Structure 1
Amino acid sequence: MDDTEALNRVSEDHGITAPNRPAADGPGPRRKALTVVAVLVAGWIFIMGMVVSYSEALANPTLNNATIAVAGNADAIVGLLQEDSIEVTVVADAAAAQAQVLDRDADAAIVIPAPGGGEVTTYVATGASRVLAAAAGTIGGQLAEQLGTTNAVVDLAPPSEHNPNGTLEFYLVIFLTLGASFGATIIGRVLGPIRTAAEFLTRAGVLIVLSTALAAGASFYATQLFDGITGEHGWAYFGALAFYCLAVSGAVTGIASLGGTVVAGVVSALFVLLGNSASGGPFGVHMLSDFFQVVRYIVPQTWGLELLRDIEYFDASGIGGPLVALSVWAVIGVVAALLGMFRHTLANRPGNARPAKHVSAVAIGDDAPDHDARRTPTHEAITAVGPGEHRELERTPAAV
């Protein structure tokens, strides 16, 4: 005789009626409708936010706060200082002007001869931003026209012939951001929050595998299918992409462990909503409005894109800033995960733990009073005491 049959016999012998349990029918129609409405509204806000963000940032790129190194004619330099859209850095000569561009201290450089002394020379880096390079060339051309001479544009960092518009780096960053951030969110949902040191190390290993896989695929595409894009810096390119993915996924994982999956999802959505636009895309950050030029310091996409361009076009000059910024995001993830672990430890200290629950129903004889029920998800016991008999039955909740 199984537990269910024994329970039924005891109940019949002593007049015990098992309490009715409400069926778990799930949320009612009204709640379902409200959930659908909430999802649709949130999705509408997100999509419209992307439309506005991308349109405002990238639809009409305009020169804004670009740094131009200038050498030569003092009178012409004074005229450039009046330009609101650029910041002028005066250098000694043409060599210093070129060094400013190659070291990424300036977005372009202009060497201005004395009146009648030759042509204007404009140094640009088309690989970093074709649009910004064209804008700098226009400024150099206007100066040459004022001086009655010509303007020679010299490209110090031309893009690969397989990537003439310099867009591949942007695509790699934005899609790896999606893979790293939402991948980390899904992994966190499956594995749960980080509660112990062992779980911290395990999660770190999982994120390393995720980041390595994403970076390997992207690097193979960039260096093999489009041979020549990264030149001799293929391994550096792979390392940069892996570090970027690890920083993003680590930050999202730590935030999820501390604040929950919903918070991590919101952070991932903000990366997509604002980060892709604030990175400047193929146009460069100095073609963005003031608002996005502030946001660019916060989001990781800016620094991932700058890191790739530093490696690809400038022989790794200026990688310090991007590496530090991405390291900050990685540290945020570690600190958030540790805080989540610490909070869990405090919540489970002796005296702070919640009391365990138990379910029992007791019936005594034919005059049994209403039973006292306290529920636990894993165990139930019903003890029936009648004339000359005592029996205890254990079963799972599904048997009631």
Structure 2
Amino acid sequence: MPSDTTQTFPPPETGKATHAAPAPDGRKRFVRLTAVVIGLTAAITLMLCAFGLPSANSGPHQVPVGVTGPQSAVDSLKAQLPDDEWDVTAYPDTQALTRAVQDRDALGGFSMEADGVTVYTAAAGGQQASGAITALGDSLAERQSSPATVHEVVPFPDDDPKGTGLASAALPMIFGGILPAVVLLQLFPGHAGLRLRLAGVIAFALAAGAAVTAVLQFGIGTLDGNFWLTSLGMGLGMAALAIPFLGLESLFGYAGFGAGSVVMMFLGNPLSGLGTGPYWLPDGWSTLGQLLPPGASGSLLRSNAFFDGTGASGPLLVLALWALAGLALMVLADRRHGKRAAA
């Protein structure tokens, strides 16, 4: 009996290889990988520019210096010094010049007399600028074939005469803003932990500011002045970093937190001028650095630790505005969450 069963056979080989269709998300992955590579390359380039360009162009940039003495000597000095490097102001006598240095109107100066040159410096106001003023005074005295006498108006303490501990405070101040934000975001995540994170950051800033100041003042001997005033300024600097980080994360997620961290690490740190003083950076870089929390924190630290608070109002305003901006971001995030909950 014939069978009704039919057999099927595979199609004959055509000699052509068959390829599976690419996964639908393959192109998206490639685009994402390309964007990551380009973004990381841009970040490394930005890091090099932020650290390298200011250093390559470092030097005196309109450093305020005073001069006193006979009018002819004062006029001669003004004519010799380049305007883009030195901002020269004449003072009636040495007492006025010394007071200008103490009030931070000048970083140093020269008393031009017939029997020699007296150089006035303030190493605590900027180490490199102070050294350049001393070298310039020696050069002026050599031209007159007369001796140069150096007076340190505002020196570093004897335990740290070169101020090496001051430059080392830059990273603790920056990480003092980043680390508490990272830890508190992990321990108290989400909108429910918003106020706890803010309270934790403020408490940490006060405690860490006191601890770092104690090490610098009593351990290393770099700082001088009122301990509590200096520590409060240090704490404000840390809070002015940490609160905006929390605000960026609460409003934009970890992308906002990461962007803020990159800006402060790659721009705020090298442009702070903490180790050199702001007048040793190019004008534009210096201005930007003083408008960021690390630079403002460094200037406030110098004011409180060495100049009895003189010149502290500008940095205080900058830090307060950064802290308020962070609070504003947190308030916006809180309101956005409230609207979502009510919808």
Fold shared by both chains (TM-score > 0.5): yes
Q: Distance in 1 between matches of 2:168 and 2:41?
A: 24
CA contact (8 A) 1:229 1:312 kept: no
Q: Which amino acid aligns with 1:205?
A: A
Instruction: List aligned pairs for 1:289-304, cutoff 5 A.
Output: 289-304=282-297
Report the alpha carbon displacement of residue 33 of structure 1 after superposing the two structures with TM.
Answer: 6.9
Contact 2:122 2:152 in 1 (8 A): yes
Question: Structure 2: which amino acid aligns with 1:333?
Answer: G
Q: 2:78 aligns with which of 67, 81, 92?
A: 81
Query: Which of 252, 256, 262 in structure 1 is aligned with 2:249?
Result: 256
Listed as ranges, the gaps of 5+ residues in structure 2 are 1-23
Residue of structure 2 in register with 1:215 after alignment:
209
Moved more, 339-348 or 93-102: 339-348
Matched, 1:157 2:150: no
CA distance in 1, matches of 2:218, 2:310: 24
Amino acid corresponding to residue 93 of structure 1 in structure 2: D
Q: 1:89 is paired with a residue of what secondary structure?
A: strand
Which residues of 2 match residues 100-119 of structure 1 at below 5 A?
Answer: 100-113=100-113, 116=114, 118-119=115-116
2:4 counterpart residue number = none
Q: Which amino acid aligns with 1:111?
A: S
What residue in structure 1 maps to residue 91 of structure 2?
A: 91
Q: What amino acid is the match of 2:62?
A: N
Cα deviation, 1:61-80, whole Å, max 9, x if unaligned, reads 31111111222222232234
Q: Percent identity?
A: 24
Q: What is the aligned partner in structure 2 of residue 205 from structure 1?
A: 199
What displacement does 1:52 show?
2.7
What is the root-mean-square deviation in Å for CA atoms of aligned residues? 2.7
The aligned runs of 1:44-59 (5 Å cut-off) are 44-59=41-56
**Distance in 1 separating the partners of 2:203 and 2:33:** 36
1:318 aligns with 2:315: no
User: Which residues of structure 1 form unaligned runs of 5+?
Assistant: 1-26, 354-400
Distance 2:55 2:205 in 1: 28
Greater shift in the superposed pair: 283-292 or 215-224 = 215-224
Q: Is the contact between residue 277 and residue 292 of structure 1 (CA under 8 Å) also seen in structure 2?
A: no
Partner AA of 1:94 in structure 2: T
Displacement, 1:292?
0.7
1:55, CA displacement in angstroms?
A: 1.8
2:63 aligned partner? 66
Which stretch of the first structure deviates more once superposed, 164-173 or 140-149? 140-149
Mapping 1:111-130, distance limit 5 Å:
111-113=111-113, 116=114, 118-130=115-127
CA distance in 2, matches of 1:221, 1:186: 23
Residues 1:305 and 2:302 are matched in the alignment: no
The superposition leaves residues 114-160 of structure 1 with CA deviations (integer Å, 9 ceiling, x where unpaired) of: xx3x3221211112322111111233233334444332121112223
1:41 positional shift: 4.6
Segment of structure 1 superposing worse, 165-174 or 305-314:
165-174
Number of residue pairs matched by the alignment: 317
Q: How far is 1:229 from its partner?
A: 2.6
Task: Give the C-alpha shift of residue 233 in structure 1.
Answer: 2.8
Q: Aligned in 2, Cα 1:318/1:51: closer, same or farther, shift over 3 Å? A: same
Aligned to 2:337: 344
- Work out whether residues 180 and 249 of structure 1, in 8 Å CA contact, stay in contact via their aligned partners in 2: yes
Contact 1:66–1:87 (8 Å) recurs in 2: yes
Q: Which deviates further from its counterpart, 159-168 or 130-139? A: 159-168
In structure 1, C-alpha distance between the alignment counterparts of 2:92 and 2:190, rounded to whole Å: 57
Residues 128 and 166, structure 1, Cα contact 8 Å, conserved in 2 = no
Residue in 2 that maps onto 1:170: 167
| Match in the other structure for 2:133 | 136
Equivalent pair of 2:244/2:326 in contact (CA under 8 Å): yes
Q: What is the CA–CA distance in structure 2 between the aligned matches of 1:135 and 1:148, rounded to whole Å?
A: 20
The equivalent position to 1:331 in structure 2, one of 321, 324, 327, is: 324
Greater helix content: 2
Partner of 2:12: none
2:225/2:306 contact within 8 Å kept? no
Determine if contact 1:169/1:308 at 8 Å carries over to the other structure. Answer: no
The aligned residue for residue 269 of structure 2 is: 276
| Matched residue, 1:361 | none
